[in-house]
Amino acid sequence: MAEIFPVSDEMQKNANINKADYEDLYEKSIKHPEEFWRRQAKRIDWVSFPKKIKDTRFKKDEYVIKWYEDGILNASYNCIDRHLPERANQTAFIFEPDDPKSESKHITYGELKDEVCRLANALKKQGVKKGDCVTIYMPMIPEAAYAMLACARIGAIHSVVFGGFSPNALKDRIVDCESKFVITADEGRRGGKTVPLKANVDKAVDGLDIVQKVIVFKNTGGDVEWHDGRDISWGETVLLQSNECKPEPMSAEDPLFILYTSGSTGKPKGILHTTGGYMVYASLTHELSFDYKDGEVYWCTADVGWITGHSYIVYGPLANAATSLIFEGVPSYPDYGRFWEITEKHQVNIFYTAPTAIRALLKEGDDYVTKHDRSSLRILGTVGEPINHEAWLWYYNVVGEKRCPIVDTWWQTETGGHMITPLPGVTDLKPGSAAMPFLGIKVEIVDHEGNVLEGECEGNLCIAYSWPGQMRSIYGDHDRYLETYFSQFDGKYFTGDGAKRDKDGYIWITGRVDDVINVSGHRFGTAEIETSINEHDAVAESAVVGYPHDIKGQGIYAYIIAKEGKVIDDVIKKEIVQFVRSDIGPIATIDIIQAASGLPKTRSGKIMRRILRKIAADDVDNLGDTSTLAEPAVVDELIANHKKITGDK
């Protein structure tokens, strides 16, 4: 799209970065990274300020990434204690419950310190030590953030698992990082329904010797089973603890957290982030991408189970002493105006959500938006997937009343923070483009051979130099880390995304180029879903691809071949959908199943997914070269089946 929405004079005048200085600042950040990142390190408090700023090389055989390596700090101290002298009474978190009739809460920085210290002391008492992994499986309530910060305070590594994951998925994640401790709640609430978190934990840890203690927060008061000796009541234990707990001094490169995400192959991988660089990067990006101003109410609608919740509900905003809103519910409950009702109620200034939510709300019409006053809004943001033109314009015109810049932030669990984004007051906007690299980020678009493309181009999105918020490893599998991110294009970090650059230098993300699909901003490896489908006893083989979906961005399309003597009829299809939902979690809901008799394979037996993607996307006039297929006739059958299923649209 050629249209441009220029930065307003008003925005430019008041922005945290001066437009006139920006190019120079970017140039310096790339040419003199030591100096730039040394200066940025000062935005957080260190027990011992680092002398060594960076030691980074992306080359596979000499790979090293260390930021601020001799610095000592504590993340929880940076999010809480350092603000106390001036801001003990300022609200750190606003909690808005699922049910609008229940009361919202304001938690001050002073109260946050007490809550986090008590829990940290309780964890210590239960035997949690520096370097231990603690799995957090919580609803969207402030206690989830307390749990993260309590771990950070005592040097434990948290692994937050999204509360929508199944017991199986939770179990895999507990086992992978050998968590001896789990923190959960009796139940969560979402859209008027309850989520059986404790019951899920019980199933996940059943027979797992490694889990010693499960700390349970009483949230709904619903009935739960109790395992004496293993289960610990938060209410009875935590509240008895002292509200003072000395923050553990941590090396900058000590792990802060692990967060599982899907890759193109194998099981979800534990993305490992460390302390110093991550904190600097989360804080800097939060301030500049959102042009955050002291005293503003900032709301990110993500779940803390995702990286967006880590960096932009907890660590970034709290490092900047912001007021961060935590919402327990969903955008459609009790009606489609809930986001805007909350915006009005809490006078939200900065609002950050996912395109999938915008598309779902757009469909319901403007009245749900316009009946609420949104004059407090100043900045709008999106994250997680490309935003289509119609959704962007609606967000800009209707939600933001043509007043609020939209920051379309491109980044990943692996990157820790924003990597490509417009900056309010600096960047003119193009709907659907994530615009320009963030300060210190050198984007390179390369062809399949790894040649760097200049000017207007399309190719694979890579990052040329390290940045402090970058992941450091895949927990327990450093070789897989090097292989996944640094082996395709030597000397560069490969993102797995494709991108275009236009003549003005704007970056347009075109989506994943690997076997990862993005459903409503949630990432799945196609292999992960296939493994689950294949466990159903009617299934011989399956292949999963993403296809364009109006609301979800991508939907899940599964081609399934029945075992000898079985048929994939409508009953079995329903069963398979249910099976995968309970195996992975309800977010992994297959949209379309095609019962197939064969898959397009090369003579060496490799599935040609390109063809499956094209069929699922109704793009069959353009199948490309099919001459290497072992049985080309299979393609015609798949196309015919597809037309039958989708009504030959």
Nearest to 383 by CA among 350, 405, 408: 408
**Least distance in angstroms from the C-beta of 417 to ligand PRX:** 9
Beta carbon nearer to ligand PRX, 587 or 593:
587
The answer to whether the CB of 60 falls within 8 A of the CB of 301 is: no
Beta carbon nearer to ligand PRX, 362 or 383:
383
The answer to whether the CB of 141 falls within 8 A of the CB of 94 is: no
d(Cα 542, Cα 478) in Å, to the nearest integer? 30
Q: Which residues bind ligand PRX (CB under 6 A)?
A: 261, 307-308, 383-386, 408-413, 434, 495-497, 509, 512, 518, 523
Beta carbon nearer to ligand PRX, 235 or 586:
586
**Least distance in angstroms from the C-beta of 268 to ligand PRX:** 11
Nearest to 40 by CA among 318, 375, 292, 283: 283
Beta carbon nearer to ligand PRX, 251 or 460:
460
**Least distance in angstroms from the C-beta of 516 to ligand PRX:** 7
Nearest to 236 by CA among 317, 122, 333: 122
Beta carbon nearer to ligand PRX, 410 or 559:
410
**Least distance in angstroms from the C-beta of 498 to ligand PRX:** 9
**Least distance in angstroms from the C-beta of 143 to ligand PRX:** 23
Q: Tell me the CA end-to-end span of the chain in Å, nearest whole number.
A: 26
Q: Can you read off the two tokens belonging to residue 498?
A: 């494709």
**Least distance in angstroms from the C-beta of 497 to ligand PRX:** 5
Q: Can you read off the two tokens belonging to residue 286?
A: 């939060």
- Torsion 596-602-607-613 (CA) sign: negative
**Least distance in angstroms from the C-beta of 308 to ligand PRX:** 5
Beta carbon nearer to ligand PRX, 91 or 353:
353
| β-strand partners of 383 | 409
Beta carbon nearer to ligand PRX, 120 or 354:
354
- Torsion 49-420-439-297 (CA) sign: negative
Nearest to 542 by CA among 595, 502, 463: 595
**Least distance in angstroms from the C-beta of 302 to ligand PRX:** 8
Beta carbon nearer to ligand PRX, 147 or 509:
509
**Least distance in angstroms from the C-beta of 466 to ligand PRX:** 18
Radius of gyration of the chain (CA): 24
H or E segment and range at residue 54:
strand 54-57
Q: Can you read off the two tokens belonging to residue 463?
A: 């990052």
Beta carbon nearer to ligand PRX, 264 or 370:
264
Q: SS3 breakdown of the chain: % helix, strand, coil, rounded to 5?
A: 35, 25, 40
DSSP assignment string, 340-374: HHHHHHHT-SEEEE-HHHHHHHHTT-SHHHHTS--
d(Cα 126, Cα 240) in Å, to the nearest integer? 13
Q: Which residue is nearest to ligand PRX (CB)?
A: 413
